[in-house]
Amino acid sequence: MPIPIISHVLSEGLSAVPHVYTVFKWTAVAAIVALLKYYFGGARNTSERLMHSKVVMITGGTSGIGASIVHDLASRGAQIILLTQHAPSDLFLVDYIEDVRQSTNNELIYAEQVDLTSLHSIRKFATKWVDNAPPRRLDMIILCANTLKPSRSGKPRLTFDGLDEEWQVNYLANFHLLSILSPALRAQPPDRDVRIIFATCSSYIGATMDFQRTEGVVSSAATTGIKNKSKPGAKNASLSRKNKRNSSAASMYGMTKLSLMIFAKAFQKHLSSYKRPDQQPMNARVLIVDPGYSRTPGTRRWLTGGSLWGLLVYLILWPVWWLILKSPHAGAQSFLYAAMEARFGRSAGEHIGGGWLIKECREVECLRKEVDDVDVAKELWEFSEQQIQIKEKESAKRRALEKAQKEKEEEDKKRKQKDEEKAKAQTNKKEKVDNSNNNKNNSKSRPNKNRK
């Protein structure tokens, strides 16, 4: 078939072939779309690593990029521990875990209930994990949990602890979790390759730092405590004063990502400064991953602005989003690269400090100098510790009051129930007395009738 067509074209010319120019045009369009899709799809992970017997703890692993990471690591034999706000008995979570087990042929998929909007829930889980003796195996922690307001003009949502939801879920929850799990990470045997992977976003580049914006109701103890500790005139003494941009126009989301990156660098130094009893070098490495823009539920919620009209526009422009945004699987490639690349592991050597920023499956430079600033990291660390301490005390008081209120309501309910039972018993007793009296009267009246 092709030979007669080619000979016909050579003898008669292209114009002799029907619709040849239409075919060429649509072929060129399809080729351009394929090239654009390949370009926007980003790099692919080419690293390989044995994941059998590895214990991986992950937040945000039930949707979006986190779900793709879970599926890939589970298919390689890793044991996955999902930290989720859902209870283990939740029907959605049960079905999700069963689907992952069947699709990956891996039964080592579990879930632990950890609500990142509650500092008490985080402490309860992490303390239970650390208190285990001997220390439980933990090869990797991947922090993918993320939340984002639909629009910049929208009102911030507050958590149970009275903090901005974006601040607590995106940053403070990770700080709190790793601060408590730090002994468990340092207790891992020296032959294990331990990695802690943070998720960031390019929004950190234009972010500003303002501690007062982290709380729904500004707590003077939380916001002024660090300023009092700061040395006047010291370089980079205050994050809030260092950046002179208009903080009201800045995104809280970008601020959380910048804070998370600063903490990631500081946490690597915190781990590396620990002197192991066996005199071996620290085997834990911290990595920061920017997955790029992907078609995740969070991105869709941000693009739609959380409205039905926005959702309609999103659906109309779906071909555009499909072309320029990565799929969750493509967005997970940099995370998989960070989890598997050999040069980031224990074998990299003691002289390599960690804290790499990974984007498109390669190491890149951070574009904010605050990330490597020791004074800024110290100030943020102190602020976070103090804020957690204050909020946990407030939360403990609220729980105590709620418990006392609940106990009082239960006592009132029991007392009311006893009073009702007592009143009912008295009523029954009175009815019995009345019935007995009626029976006596009836018995006396019957003989009189017989005499008549």
Q: Hey, where are the domains in the chain?
A: 2-40, 55-291+326-388
CATH of 55-291+326-388, one of 3.30.200.20, 3.40.50.2300, 3.40.50.720, 3.40.50.300: 3.40.50.720
Q: Is the separation of the CB atoms in 59 and 176 below 8 Å?
A: no
pLDDT digits (tens, 9 = 90+) for 221-236: 444 444 444 443 344 4
Give the model's pLDDT for residue 213. Answer: 77
Give the model's pLDDT for residue 451. Answer: 47
Q: Is the separation of the CB atoms in 241 and 211 below 8 Å?
A: no
- Say what percent of the chain tops pLDDT 70: 82
CB atoms inside a 10 Å sphere around CB 1: 5
pLDDT digits (tens, 9 = 90+) for 156-204: 788 888 898 899 999 999 999 999 999 999 999 988 999 999 999 988 9
Peptide bond into 232 cis (omega under 30): no
Model confidence at 348, pLDDT cuts 50, 70, 90, reads low
Give the model's pLDDT for residue 280. Answer: 87
Give the model's pLDDT for residue 347. Answer: 57
Give the model's pLDDT for residue 154. Answer: 61
Residues in the chain: 452
Tokens of 435: 């019935």
Residue 12 has pLDDT above 80, yes or no: no
Give the model's pLDDT for residue 414. Answer: 85
Phi and psi at 264, nearest 5°, equal -60, -45
Give the model's pLDDT for residue 441. Answer: 66
Q: Is the separation of the CB atoms in 127 and 231 below 8 Å?
A: no
Active site residues: 257
Give the model's pLDDT for residue 8. Answer: 63
pLDDT digits (tens, 9 = 90+) for 72-98: 999 999 999 999 999 888 999 999 999
Sign of dihedral through CA atoms 210, 215, 216, 217?
A: negative
Model confidence at 152, pLDDT cuts 50, 70, 90, reads low
Among the ranges 153-167, 298-312, 373-387, which has the highest mean pLDDT value? Answer: 373-387
Model confidence at 7, pLDDT cuts 50, 70, 90, reads confident
Largest Cα span, the chain: 141
Mean pLDDT on 286-303: 89
Euclidean distance between CA atoms 181 and 57, whole angstroms: 11
Model confidence at 307, pLDDT cuts 50, 70, 90, reads confident
Model confidence at 409, pLDDT cuts 50, 70, 90, reads confident
pLDDT digits (tens, 9 = 90+) for 21-38: 777 788 888 999 899 888
Q: What angle do CA 140, 141, 145 make, to 5 degrees?
A: 150
Euclidean distance between CA atoms 338 and 340, whole angstroms: 6
List strand residue ranges (DSSP E) for 247-373, in order. Answer: 284-290, 356-359, 362-364
Q: Residue 171 gets which letter from DSSP?
A: I
| Three-state secondary structure call for residue 325 | coil
